[in-house]
Amino acid sequence: MKSIWSNGWFLIPVLMFFNAGLALAFFTPYGDEILLLNGFRFEPFNSIFRFMTMLGEIQAFVVAGVLALFWRFRYTLLIALSGLVTIPIVYVIKDAFGADRPITFFRNRGLADFVVTVPGVELNMGQTSFPSGHTMAAFALFTMLTLITIDSNRRWGLVFAVLAVLVGVSRVFLVQHFLADILAGALLGIIVSCLIWQLQRAPFFQQMKWLDGRLMGQ
């Protein structure tokens, strides 16, 4: 069975994202990544990132799942599972860490006035910052789509990698998460989808392959 490591079109840009993110996190004080983007929060960037962040929400899974029905029924099931498994994992980890959201972090330090925000974005508050659920969901979805298309067209992996990374960046741009949050979310999303992909070895999914063949007239 093919793995995500065999598709350089996806793997290389994702590794670049992690390397750049870790380097920035190492050399930049916690929270300064939010402030570094202050000068870029204007149009068209505001609208672009407001749209990109939606690719980490349930609607993206629904669209991908419906489109997958026209290819293989088991792919729809795998996409749905990657989304459903993500939800409880995110909530459990968020509750365990209890990390301040960016706006809460800056307000507690009397620095909220230094943060430029994006108009029309409702800022999440409280202690639910780590990890980023949107980023985890996006990486789970686009990792799964990369695995699904790995035999038909590996180059789709580049598109999926870029989209996943942009969702992660959008969470920092929109002042919803810190860099550490999106890096953790990205890693968790990849792990979740890679593990779910392995479920195809189970007898139930082997029967699904037979059903797919019948539905496709094979």
Query: C-alpha angle with apex 135: 126 to 37, nearest 5 degrees?
Result: 75
Could you tell me how far CA 196 lies from the centroid of its own chain? 16
Q: Residue ranges of the alpha helices (H) in the chain?
A: 8-27, 32-36, 45-53, 58-69, 73-97, 102-108, 133-148, 156-173, 179-197, 203-215
Q: What is the pLDDT of residues 9-45, one digit of tens each?
A: 999 999 999 999 999 999 999 999 999 999 999 999 9
Domain boundaries, the chain: 4-209
The reply to whether the predicted model has a pTM over 0.85 is yes
pLDDT value of position 214: 47
Residues lower than pLDDT 70 in the chain: 1, 204-218
